[in-house]
Amino acid sequence: MPLTVLSGPDVNLLLRSLSRDDITQMQHSLAEALHAYSTATQEDGCCAMHQPPRTSISLKPGTTTLFMPATTSHITGMKIVTLAECNRHADADAVEAAPSTSLPLRPSESNSSSSPSMSSSSPSVSFALNSSPSASFSSDSRSTVSTTSTKRTSSSSPGSSIRKASSGESASGRGKASTSSKLPFGTGATSPRGSVTLLDNTGAPVGIINAEELTAFRTALAATMLFTRRRHVETLTVFGAGRQAYWHIRLSLLLRGSEIKRVNIITRSFEHAQPLLTEFYSTDQHDWRSGTKFSLLSAEYGEYGRLLKEEVRKADVIFCCTPSTNPLFPPEYLTSSEGRKKGRYISAIGSYKPNMCELHPDILRQATAPPHSRHHHKHASQGGVIVVDSLDACLRDAGEVIQAELGPEQLVEVGELVMLKRMTMRELERDTQPTPHDPPSSSSKDKHHGRSSSDGGLLNWLVNGNVIYKSVGMGLMDLVVGADLVNIANERGVGTCIDDF
């Protein structure tokens, strides 16, 4: 049985080669798995009862190692990653809510004419991208791999199983991956280090994948599932400037790039954000439309508080991608009458421990409050629930959920929402009234208040209302996305193939 090994450079090369169609297919595969996790019976390998809880150990001060087992009907696996604890000085992605001392950007901090232009008198940095999307797969000259197979068999269902090399096609021994490929920025001390191991249903290893870039990608892939259905996505506000932020932005541009006009990045300092901006701006990055404007707001600026409020209020979509232990902005930015006028999609994926928190608990409390019969001010619709990846995991580990003291009746799993009947979704996208039908069966869904019982009301909330998605991550995500990535690697001849492992 051949084993496919994907190193960090291999994973980076593959993920950057993905087209919009590739992303859409992988997203659908993940949605099916999450739907089965939330609603399937024990006959389905993806159902919740077959997913063991993750465990952790902290043998060394300042580090935590997570063990995340998972299974589907076709593959079983384990993700093992070690994370460095964040602190005020070492956390490159965390952003404090309170304004800090003004430290204007010096003109000399601009690297070259090929980097985003900056003004020392401006409180933020902005620039426009000047190229167009491309769906082709090409091998970057900086990242070459020695492949061991040129012909692979295919499978009918993405993510459901691993496509295997035909007998005799895999080279014996190990292929060699080039060490000259540069790993992406942000793969520093706070990034998760480890691997994902995939086994087929006989227990034979079929894939070993470097988990560092995969973790950021699969998290963004899940977070953008509901994003793709939003009516308004013109303005994105992103907290953080690491790999999570990068993939949230990149996937958003691939999926809805023709509609996104502005991406606002908010981070602790320009120094931390410059590699992210440079990567999107660089001349070899030719996947984006020319009209999208990027801006950077740093906590180093004296007017940070005022500008932070503006960028949160103007956002159609807010991606929180920091391992912060403090809320990223004051709750009244969104909970006041003015803040509630606009519907937003808010994704918070950075916190994974009870003491970590990106969104103030008051924001979650208001989002789950029972509806009032009379409203004195116009505001966007509330769903009455927080959307989560795993109800049990978020009740146990999500700092925002724990600190807001939410119960299971105030949460709904994303797997219950993403697989609504496609005909209804098409009707809604054509701006027609969808035909109401019974919602998917679920133990938790019937308890939720504040939503219309029809799919029309539910979809209107998901498309136009205030939707908050909270994720702490599941091994099932790594398993499904990792299997798809191994399939793509086998098709494209990327990675190291070991025969008869």
Range from 37-51, 133-147, 218-232 carrying the lowest mean pLDDT: 133-147
Q: Which residues contact 433 (CB under 8 A, 6 or more apart)?
A: 427, 456
Residue 18 corresponds to which amino acid?
L
Distance CA 90, CA 399 (A): 21
How confident is the model over 68-124, as pLDDT tens digits?
Answer: 999 998 999 999 999 886 543 333 344 444 333 333 333 333 333 344 444 333 445
**Mean predicted confidence (pLDDT) in 9-13:** 97
| Residue 42 CB burial class (10 angstroms; 0-12, 13-18, ≥19) | exposed
Distance CA 6, CA 490 (A): 10
Distance CA 472, CA 323 (A): 11
| Residue 216 CB burial class (10 angstroms; 0-12, 13-18, ≥19) | buried
pTM over 0.75: yes
- Residue length of the chain: 501
Are the C-beta atoms of residues 284 and 141 closer than 8 Å to each other? no
Residue from 17, 19, 414 nearest 255 by CA: 19
- Domains of the chain, each with CATH number or no CATH: 3-86+145-215+477-498 (3.30.1780.10), 223-474 (3.40.50.720)
Are the C-beta atoms of residues 497 and 170 closer than 8 Å to each other? yes
The partner residues of 498 in beta bridges, in order of sequence, read: 3
How confident is the model over 344-379, as pLDDT tens digits?
Answer: 999 999 988 899 999 999 999 999 998 765 555 566
Which value, in Å, is the radius of gyration of the alpha carbons in the chain?
A: 22
Structure tokens at 413: 């799993």
Strand 345-348, strand 467-470: pairing: parallel
Distance CA 14, CA 181 (A): 13
How confident is the model over 161-177, as pLDDT tens digits?
Answer: 555 444 334 333 334 44
How confident is the model over 239-296, as pLDDT tens digits?
Answer: 999 999 999 999 999 999 989 999 999 998 888 888 898 888 775 555 565 678 999 9
How confident is the model over 291-340, as pLDDT tens digits?
Answer: 789 999 998 888 899 999 999 999 999 999 999 999 999 999 999 999 99
Return the number of other C-beta atoms located less than 10 Å from residue 475's C-beta: 23
E strands, 299-364, are: 317-320, 345-348
Are the C-beta atoms of residues 40 and 79 closer than 8 Å to each other? no
> Please, which pLDDT band fits residue 435 given cuts at 50, 70 and 90?
very low
Q: Say whether pLDDT at 444 is over 80.
A: no
How confident is the model over 176-190, as pLDDT tens digits?
Answer: 444 334 556 555 555
Q: Name which residue leads in pLDDT, 288 or 397.
A: 397
Residue from 218, 142, 137, 216 nearest 479 by CA: 218
Return the number of other C-beta atoms located less than 10 Å from residue 277's C-beta: 22
